[in-house]
Amino acid sequence: MSESTATSVATGKTTVTTTDPQRPNLNFFKRFQYAAGDIGCNCAYAMINAYLFFFMTDIARINPMTVGTVMLISKVWDAAIDPFIGSMADHTETKWGRYRPWVIGAAIPMVVLNVMAFTTFPEWNETARTLWAFTAYFASVTAYSALNIPYSAMTATLTLDSDMRAKIASTRIMGAMATGLVLNFFTLRIVKYVTNIVGSEATGYQVAAIIFGLIALPFFFICFFGTKEVVKTEPTKEKYSTMFKTLKNNKPFWCLTFFFIVWGFNALGGSMKMHFFTYYAGKQMMTANNATIGSFASFLGTMSLTFIVKYFKNKGHIIGYAALGSCIFQSIAFFIPVQTAGGEIWYYCNTFLASFCSGCALGTMFAVQPDITEYTRYHHGIYAAGFLSAFTNFCFQFGGALASASSGWILGGFGYVAGQEQTPQVMMLLRIMPHFWPALMMLMGSIAMFMYPLSKEKYNEITAKLEKGEYAPGVVPMSRA
């Protein structure tokens, strides 16, 4: 760490300030340049998460049980390749850094493939439509992983300062939430506008995907040219199989990973939300309104992290309290008479509170993730930011894969028929799953994060020792073994 002297004009006293190139003071503009990557991801990919399940069942008219199977296979593939991508990123060494080249290299393919996922051909038979949907979605999730896994790992290379990482994560998720707010407000409105002109709802979704894809591309370039990887570590040379040793006795990692898993399982309820508003509430546009309000509240929740984080000695506990709050409000939503005008307003207010809590949890998740990199390096002697990020994402994607597949299987099993009046059993299912299921997931997640052991004090002790070349007793860095 270098030192510089400065003389106060008012007092004439000389003060000593410290500057550390691995702990830069990243102002909001610098943090925004990194966050631009997540803005681009959400512009290009949030439509996949929010609307593709409904698009496949009700627009492409693919059997919901088949849709579930398609999503399961695609997401299992996605989950399986994530650790490989993370490991390859850890092994990357270029003049632009370790992770930045992945962001710019995967951007255009991902945008194009997302548009293909929202393309269907009504004149084809169902088998052909299903094969097209499978191929497009399969390729899309692959491109997304090649971009998002290195992007997430990059946080660990921007600074060693734990609180600054929280600010980076907060800015990143605020950008993502703001993007989600815009996307949720405009997507269905764009779809309906285009449908009214050309008479094809499928074309409406395709045009919306094109618009948001084109908006996304400049943000990836902002991220690439505006960020700098300053944390200096040697490129990982260990074999992929060796990296799994970092998971042994890694309690902070497993607490966070479990939370990512239950967050992924939320998709089981979330994927039925549009069906809930369409068939139970009878107000499909509530999907857009509710999602917009939720995105705005999540944005505020994430923004609050900048102020909240300094009052907690353990960032994991922030997630625990936020998830518990989300659990309570998600449960309340089940009882709201959403079909009435007053109930609709009440539902929106409840969504605001639940989403505020979720936004706070989500922002903190990504603030906690890079801290585990140093914990792992200290206890195992391996720098594995990409691998750890990828493995966490693997668990998240696998949970999401099972959840998405189960959505289709459950709907099909209960007798759901697209575009038809639904049975009382289906109606009850559409009430329970979007509310009590995510409430249960958040309750389980909060318990895990209250057990998260890596406090700020412990983290600072670890980073101080690492900078001196010290490791946990008995640990020999792999590169020196």
- Indicate the residue type of 436: F
146: nearest Cα among 390, 382, 368: 390
64: nearest Cα among 124, 139, 126: 126
Distances (CA, A) of 12 to 8, 15, 152, 216: 5, 10, 45, 51
Please give the Cα distance from 470 to 372 (Å, whole number). 17
Number of other CB atoms surrounding residue 423 within 10 Å: 13
* Burial bucket for residue 144 (CB in 10 Å: 0-12, 13-18, 19+): buried
Mean pLDDT by 10 residues, the chain (481 residues): 39 47 83 90 81 87 84 76 79 81 89 93 90 89 87 82 78 81 87 92 93 93 88 63 79 91 83 88 88 87 80 90 96 94 94 93 81 87 77 76 77 85 91 93 95 91 87 71 38
Contact 374, 462 (CB under 8 A): yes
Contact 376, 250 (CB under 8 A): yes
Number of other CB atoms surrounding residue 310 within 10 Å: 10
Instruction: Specify the 3-state DSSP secondary structure of 19.
Output: strand
Instruction: Name the strand (E) or helix (H) holding 16.
Output: strand 14-19
Q: How far is CA 380 from its chain centroid?
A: 27
pLDDT of 16:
38
Q: Which residues contact 221 (CB under 8 A, 6 or more apart)?
A: 104
Fold of 29-480: Growth Hormone; Chain: A; (1.20.1250)
The whole-model pTM stands at 0.67
CA dihedral 366, 356, 259, 172 (to 10 degrees): -10
Instruction: Specify the 3-state DSSP secondary structure of 414.
Output: coil
Contact 402, 300 (CB under 8 A): no
DSSP designation for 309: G
- Indicate the residue type of 380: H
pLDDT of 478:
63
Q: How far is CA 215 from its chain centroid?
A: 19
Helix ranges restricted to H, 59-99: 64-91
Q: Tokens 């490791």 — which residue?
A: 471
Q: Tokens 């309104």 — which residue?
A: 289
Distances (CA, A) of 414 to 82, 269, 430: 33, 15, 10
Would you say how long the chain is, in residues? 481
